[in-house]
């Protein structure tokens, strides 16, 4: 809560310094905090049913997302692919957490079937990133059953998120080899890379307080002014441009604290590692897309973290009786 409060406070400070619009950041912080609180409470009361309901809701939102986002805000060439992939990944993790939460082995197999269905649904929808990430979360969840020390695995997840952010920065800075840069630009889109370059130039000139939240579309280059939603489609580069180095530090610190809370979680290791894998995938999506611009995604991330760190009441009572 201290970190989320610092994120909200810093956005207000940078907005006051440059006449920015911090509403988007404040909404994201509120959505994350509310989702985490609801996840802790519902995970304590209904450790199996709550993640199941969350998985169903995430899948339904991912299917309805094209209709919900109609209009120029999420129009081509950037689209809503990051939000769809993130929702599908979080839904897969919720289904896997529900499967690990039940003590009945036969029921675990039944509860894993929705996770498999979400992976197949992502492929049918054409979300390659969502299908790959969901399948990776499912495989990590299955492998987590044989892991006894979660700390090393969570540390590995934290390290694995760094290459995505580093690649986005290197591509924007033009330090990658020509052949690799052309391949990545072809996959990610020239317009997206141009937005990253605009964000990097702004962050280099405004390292302290940035240019102010919500002002990237106004002060960026030609690509930024032509962006349908006024964002660079990279959470780290957007924070670097709009809120400076401190904003990036707070974002990274919040992700690291989530993994730390999963390490200290009273839930089983498979549940903690499943949630950690999904949150790491979400961080990768956020580094190269606008996934965190969707309120449903930030709420889902908070819910998943809350379910994975909640202490079920039945278990607490069983510990007190002896």
Closest CA to 263 of 275, 246, 249: 275
The answer to whether the beta carbons of residues 243 and 210 sit under 8 Å apart is yes
Q: What is the pLDDT of residue 310?
A: 93
Convert the pLDDT of each residue in 98-108 to its tens digit. Answer: 999 998 888 99
Q: What is the C-alpha separation between 183 and 189, in angstroms, rounded?
A: 10
Cα distance between residue 170 and residue 166, in whole Å: 6
Q: Do 282 and 291 form a contact (C-beta atoms < 8 A)? A: yes
pLDDT tens figures, 130-139: 999 999 999 9
**Mean pLDDT confidence for 224-253:** 85
Tell me the per-residue pLDDT of 259-299, one tens digit each, with 9 for 90 and over.
Answer: 999 999 999 999 999 999 999 999 999 998 888 888 999 99
How confident is the model at residue 89, as a pLDDT?
A: 95
pLDDT the model gives residue 72: 39
Over the stretch 294-312, which tens digit does the pLDDT of each residue have?
899 999 999 999 999 998 7
Q: What is the rounded distance in angstroms from the CA atom of residue 247 to the CA atom of residue 253?
A: 10
Residue range 58-62: mean pLDDT, rounded: 90
Q: How far apart are CA 319 and CA 322, in angstroms?
A: 6
Give me the percent of the chain exceeding a pLDDT of 90: 52
Please give the Cα distance from 86 to 290 (Å, whole number): 10
pLDDT surpassing 50 at residue 157: yes
**Least confident among 20-24, 62-66, 131-135, 237-241:** 62-66
CA–CA–CA angle 51, 118, 35 (5° rounding): 35
């Amino acid at each position: 809560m201290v970190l989320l409060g610092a994120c909200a406070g810093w956005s207000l400070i940078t907005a006051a310094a440059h006449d920015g619009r911090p509403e988007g950041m404040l909404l994201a912080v509120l959505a994350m905090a509310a989702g985490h609180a609801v996840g802790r409470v519902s995970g304590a009361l209904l450790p199996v049913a709550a993640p199941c309901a969350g998985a169903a809701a995430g899948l339904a939102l991912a299917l309805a997302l094209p209709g919900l986002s109609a209009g120029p805000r999420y129009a081509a060439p950037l689209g809503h692919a990051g939000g769809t992939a993130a929702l599908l990944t979080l839904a897969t993790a919720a289904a896997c957490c529900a499967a690990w939460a039940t003590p009945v082995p036969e029921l675990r197999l039944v509860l894993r079937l929705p996770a498999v269905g979400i992976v197949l649904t992502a492929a049918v929808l054409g979300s390659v990133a969502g299908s790959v990430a969901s399948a990776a979360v499912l495989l990590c969840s299955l492998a987590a059953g044989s892991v006894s020390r979660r700390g090393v695995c969570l540390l590995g997840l934290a390290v694995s998120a760094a290459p995505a952010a580093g690649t986005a920065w290197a591509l924007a800075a033009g330090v990658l080899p020509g052949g690799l840069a052309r391949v990545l630009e072809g996959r990610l889109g020239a317009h997206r890379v141009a937005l990253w370059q605009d964000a990097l130039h702004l962050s280099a000139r405004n390292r302290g307080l940035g240019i102010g939240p919500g002002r990237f579309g106004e002060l960026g280059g030609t690509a930024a002014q032509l962006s349908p939603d006024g964002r660079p489609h990279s959470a780290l580069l957007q924070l670097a441009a709009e809120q400076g180095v401190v904003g990036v530090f707070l974002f990274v610190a919040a992700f690291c604290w989530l993994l730390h809370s999963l390490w200290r979680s009273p839930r089983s290791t498979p549940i903690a590692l499943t949630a950690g894998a999904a949150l790491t995938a979400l961080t990768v999506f956020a580094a190269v897309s606008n996934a965190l611009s969707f309120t449903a995604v930030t709420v889902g991330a908070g819910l998943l973290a809350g379910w994975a760190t909640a202490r079920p009441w039945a278990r607490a009572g069983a510990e007190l009786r002896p």
